[in-house]
Structure 1
Amino acid sequence: MTHVYRTTATYAADDASTNWKERAARYSLLPLRLFLGVTFIYAGLDKLFDSAFLSATGTGSIGELMSTVRNSSAVPALVDVALKSPEGFGYAMAFGELAVGIGTLLGLLARLAALGGVLISLSLWLTVSWQTEPYYYGNDLAYMMAWLPLVLAGASVFSLDAAIAERRRRSR
């Protein structure tokens, strides 16, 4: 029988390794959160400041885009809803992307913001990106999958959610 003797230095090395792994795990979703938050803020602002996009007709408009993808989308009824008021749909999409991006970046209602990101990406995949061949060329499916870890884990560091939770914990 072999006995393993551990020294204090061995325990300290194990603790340092465990602490590093725990810290890495804790911060692992931060780059994804930053990327998705900034990207969705940019996408929302891009739509709001593009007068052509927020039009019912014309080159580059949301109305033209929805008309173009209507017959090739997986859910034409979803496109029909957008076509009832293309400008309103364009504004809703832009403000939705802004809300999702800001919530994600600040870590405020982070799981809810991420769920919004999933729903926006899913709706774009089922409508605009559906006809993309092969499917992995379309980016909306990849965005949808990228949001899922944030739906599950939320924002544990550098977030208003974490600050609020810590404040509640201390006040008990």
Structure 2
Amino acid sequence: MNGYGGGSYGPGGRRTPKEQAGRYALLPLRIFLGVTFVYAGLDKLTDGAFLAADGAGSIGAVMRGVRDSSAIPALVDLALKSPEGFGYAIAIGELLVGLGTLVGLWTRLAALGGALISLSLWLTVSWQSTPYYYGNDLPYLMAWLPLALAGATVFSADAFLASRRRRTL
């Protein structure tokens, strides 16, 4: 894996130091978001209390607690039709998004998934946070957007697959 998806720059086909550094600019963000979402998904999947419809710390109790203060109560109502199913969907979604981001496989799609999870949590669970920057879901949403736009250009399955496609053409 050469780490980059192609192109040559500068005199003699060499990249300038600034261009070299720019290739790695999103790598720390990708690692942070990937590890965080894998951890969040595994944490939810292994927490029996979270995946219950009722009880302290359950997804059902959280959803009922934020229903009237959320930006989109209908979204909370939808989750409350099957709190356990919604809990599993969020946990598995976070796990898949995190793994895709870490490996760099379908990174833009994984980042879009992470952004949608963060957006839905911001509009429901952390919407009532005052001031708004106390809620953590909005910064996560903003952190996913550069990865959704740029993808993973270094140390990624996407870059490896792209370089293989170019070699076979």
- Taking structure 2 as the reference length, what is the TM-score of the superposition? 0.91
Q: Which residue pairs with 1:149 in the alignment?
A: 146
Deviation at 1:19, TM superposition (A): 1.8
Give the C-alpha shift of residue 79 in structure 1.
0.3
Q: Does 1:86 align with 2:62?
A: no
In the other structure, the counterpart of 2:66 is: 69
Q: Which has the higher helix share?
A: 1
Give the gaps of 5 or more residues in structure 2.
1-10
Report the identity percentage. 73
The one-character-per-residue Cα deviations of 1:49-71 (angstroms, maximum 9, x if unpaired) are: 00000000000000000000000
Tell me the CA shift for residue 95 of structure 1.
0.2
Structure 1 outlier segments of 4+, above 4 Å? none
**What amino acid is aligned across from residue 83 of structure 1 in structure 2?**
L
Name the structure, 1 or 2, with higher relative contact order (CA <8 Å, separation 6+). 2
Question: What residue number does 1:106 align with?
Answer: 103
Aligned partner letter, 1:130: W
1:29 aligns with 2:52: no
Matching of residue 19 in structure 1 with residue 16 in structure 2: yes
- Residue equivalent to 1:5: none
Q: Deviations over 1:5-53 (max 9, x none)?
A: xxxxxxxxx99xx621011100000000000000000000000000000
> What's 1:41 paired with?
38
* Structure 2 match to 1:4: none
C-alpha displacement of 1:131: 0.2
Measure the CA separation in 1 of the matches of 2:159 and 2:127: 37
Q: Which amino acid aligns with 1:34?
A: I
C-alpha distance in 2 between matches for 1:66 and 1:103: 27
Instruction: Say if 2:137 is the partner of 1:140.
Output: yes
Is structure 2 residue 123 aligned with structure 1 residue 131?
Answer: no
- TM-score by structure 1 length? 0.90
**3-state SS, counterpart of residue 16 of structure 2:** helix
Cα distance in 1 for partners of 2:16, 2:26 equals 17
User: SS at the partner of 1:92?
Assistant: helix
Q: What SS class does the counterpart of residue 31 from structure 1 fall into?
A: helix
Could you say which structure has the larger radius of gyration?
Answer: 1
1:122 aligns with 2:119: yes
Q: Please, which runs of 5 or more residues in structure 1 have no aligned partner?
A: 1-13
Q: Deviation string for 1:68-93 (max 9, x for gaps)?
A: 00000000000001000000000000
Distance 1:23 1:143 in 2: 27
